[in-house]
Structure 1
Amino acid sequence: MIIAITAFRLPEPISPDEARRIFLGTAPTYQGVPGLFKKYYVLSEDGLTAGGVYLWNSRAEAEALYTEAWRTFVREKYGIEPVVTYFDSPVTVDNVAQRIVADER
């Protein structure tokens, strides 16, 4: 599994309520994306950095989302270039489902 973290500095801070409204507006676009298990929207405490934490099946599936069209969407919506950082995630702990999941290698 792969974790991708996206982050972008906003030109001015937004409130948690404003972030929630914006995030709810874009959330449906991530439903049904091949290989995407979960996405967590994030906002820094000072409201100046927003982004997401994504759990993917594979890097190839993650990279299929972060296209130039996606980058353009983020630039137009938030006015800033997003940064994407990838991490290998060989094991996850899911306390809701009460299970540990290991990457199949």
Structure 2
Amino acid sequence: MIGVLVTFKQTEKFDRSAVAKIAGELRGPFEGMAGLRFKGFMLDEEGGQARNFYVWDDEGKGRSFFTAEIVEKVTGIYGVPPEVQFFDIVAFVDNAGA
């Protein structure tokens, strides 16, 4: 399993309603996406950052998703280029079914 943290940093704060709108408009293609366990759209209003966090069951699919075209597309959406970080998930706790 692999985690991917995508961070968009701005000098000005991201507007919460704008990030919520982006999340609402972009969630559809990720629903049911092969290899993607979940994706979270996050906002750090104080730090001026929007973040997306992905958990992929398949490392290859996770890494191959972040093409130059995807990076260019999300740069246009958020207005700044992202920083993309990959993490090996050693253990995962999921309380959704509890």
Task: State the partner residue of 1:25.
Answer: 25
What is the distance in 2 between the residues matched to 1:12 and 1:75? Answer: 16
**1:12 CA displacement:** 2.8
Is 1:46 the equivalent of 2:50?
no
Q: TM-score, normalised by structure 2?
A: 0.87
Verify the 8 A CA contact 2:14 2:45 in the aligned structure 1: no
Question: For the aligned residues, what is the CA RMSD?
Answer: 1.6
Aligned-pair CA distance for 1:4: 0.7
Relative to structure 1, is the Cα distance of residues 2 and 95 closer, same or farther in structure 2, using a 3 angstrom cutoff? same
TM-score, scaled to structure 1:
0.82
**Whole-angstrom distance in 2 between the partners of 1:72 and 1:9:** 15
Contact 1:10 1:78 in 2 (8 A): no
- State the 1:11 CA deviation: 5.1
Greater C-alpha radius of gyration = 1
* In the alignment, structure 1 residue 14 sits paired with structure 2 residue 4: no
Is the contact made by 1:13 and 1:48 (CA closer than 8 Å) also made in structure 2?
A: yes
For 2:96, the aligned partner's letter is V
Q: Structure 1: where are the runs of 5+ without partners?
A: 99-105
Q: How does 1:21-100 map to 2 (within 5 A)?
A: 21-46=21-46, 48-98=48-98
Q: Identity over the aligned pairs, expressed in percent?
A: 27
Q: Residue 51 and residue 35 in structure 1: after superposition, are their counterparts in 2 closer, same or farther (change >3 A)?
A: same
Report the count of equivalent residues.
98
